[in-house]
Structure 1
Amino acid sequence: MGELPGLVVTGAAGRMGRLLIAAALASDHARLTGAVVRKGHDWAGQDVGVAMGGAPVGIIATDDPLEAFATAQGVLDFTTPDASVEFAALAAQARAVHVCGSTGFTPAHLAKLEAAGRHAVIVQSGNTSLGLNLLLGLTRKVAAALDADWDIEIVEAHHRAKVDAPSGAALMLGEAAAEGRGVALQDVRDSGRDGITGARTTGDIGFSSIRGGSIVGEHDVIFAGEGERLVLRHIANDRGIFARGALKAALWGQQQKPGIYTMSDVLGL
């Protein structure tokens, strides 16, 4: 049996970074080999176990991603779009699987990810939980079965510190609904209603965002027809589900050819 795949966590000092570190350390199928923090962060040069308030684990945090990626087989990255496209290029140079859970990408960001994906495996997903990805499949099927007389609304709720809206997962659900309807989301998306907006346009897919407290993540896909309503819901109570999903994706990616993949590919949905 060969050596276990080595994984690097970016944004190591953040909320998700800490969960990713814990998941990698606890895994029987991978090992933590690096932890990256932003330039000048006080974790740089510290053992990550000590920095997290525990016992030493033998991994020293660094603010030099190139050094950390050089010997890695996988990168777990839940940071920001600007940081992620830089990490994607570095991971591609190292031929490491890049699991990218960042959200809020622009078309320019996505073009850079696609360029990196020509040289290495990238699993890019706004949500790495199993349940949410099952919801994507259900949303696509229900949207295909119900015509445009059924209005589609996507409502998402997250903690007060989340900086982008709608959430990446909400947009994924919108894409799934649009695919089911055979339309492009950009042509039917309706976000941020305010004031006298007029009546709802038939066929539009609406989005609403709630921010408050410590909500981990809730997503409702509402199909509203005349006299009846169907609601598909996913509730995340523990951010650890995203870390475990990311770890699964990194291990799955070890056997794949270069390209851009999603969690649906990882889960064989």
Structure 2
Amino acid sequence: MEERKLEEIAFHDKLRDGAYEQRWSPEAEARVAHEPVWANFKYYSIEQNSIDLMRKWLLENCRGSVILDYCCGNGDESLFVARNGAKKVVGIDISPLSIQNCNERAAAENLQDTVSFKAMDAEAMEFDDNTFDFMMEYGVLHHLDLHKGMAELARVLKPGGCMVCTETLGHNILIKTYRRRTPELRTAWEAEHILTKESFDIIKQYFGRIEMHFFHLFALGAVPFRHTPFFPVILGALRLIDSVLLKIPGLRWQAWQVVFKLSEPRKTR
């Protein structure tokens, strides 16, 4: 196995050791506060509106579907679609500890008949062509060789299917500066492959249609207030500003995150 993939396994096993949390709450932040690798968890306090769009799309597509949770982490979205009518859910991840956590969570909810998990290389998946009706990922693509990952995703998605993705972006100078100053919070490959406009040129080689929505620019200013009574009001006002400014073509790429839907897979073999 390539060295970069071994580094990903080690990093994500450490990240998931004793931590089921993938979604921010004050309680979740408190539980991992002693772990330096979770130091940027606080920024996820503002992302509920991007999660809301992502889960809206999941609900629109999951019922009766065979679903892939691509690099599933601790399985939040696998369990979400399993609870909401998915026919079958398969989660894969390169981290064996993540898979262990997922299986424990599925067993605790008695969802083993609907959802299964397997450690697997996301760039060389063990599935037949045209296996899945619907696929999803959250914060994964910048960990991969994008050409290899996209080719595999297009291969295993049925022609009429779609995929929902959430990714961070790499254009904002302040966010880039923060990333450079905190190298311990991500792998070397990850740090160099945050998605940019050019990344979407690659993605378009494998999917004929992309629908994109940009989130979290001024909203990041609410993070210092997350433990105060004023947080909802401040966050709401900053989200309103974002909702206007992030519709401007040039400015929207300064956002922290983008939620997008891929469809019309282009098979390379």
Which is helix-richer, 1 or 2? 2
Q: Considering the TM-score relative to the shorter chain, is it more than 0.5? A: no
TM-score normalised by L of structure 1: 0.42
Larger Rg: 1
TM-score normalised by L of structure 2: 0.42
